Amino acid sequence: MVFRPAAYEFPPSRGRRSFELKPDGALLEGRIGPTDRPLETQGTWELQDDRLVLRRGPSEAPRRMRIASVDDDQLIVEK
């Protein structure tokens, strides 16, 4: 999966998965909700070796993605 900065000009779509990683470890994650409206959740993030770990809450399992590459214009992760 490829993630781009918020300023990147994407073509039109019905919705996209997104996340914002704050310097203090806070996470804002956006996704398409059950009614096709954007849904934003909060959580925390951390790096563990070459993995990005996203946590949305105590009732959900953490999401772990291996970082394949990263630069100023894109973050590429494996599911």
In three-state secondary structure terms, 4 is: coil
Residue 7 domain flag: no
- Domain presence at residue 27: yes
Q: Name the pTM for this structure.
A: 0.79
The count of structural domains within the chain is 1
C-alpha–C-alpha distance, residues 14 and 37, integer Å:
9
The CATH number for 61's domain is 2.40.128
pLDDT tens digit string along 25-54?
999 988 888 888 888 999 999 999 999 999
Domain of residue 74 covers 17-78
Angle at 72 between CA 66 and CA 77, to 5 degrees: 15
Does residue 41 lie in a domain region? yes
Strand pairing report for 2-3 and 75-78: antiparallel
In a domain, 44, yes or no: yes
Is residue 5 included in any domain, yes or no? no
pLDDT band at 19 (very low <50, low <70, confident <90, very high): confident
DSSP code, position 9: -
In a domain, 3, yes or no: no
Residue 40 lies in a domain: yes
Contacts with 24 (C-beta within 8 Å, 6 or more apart), sequence order: none
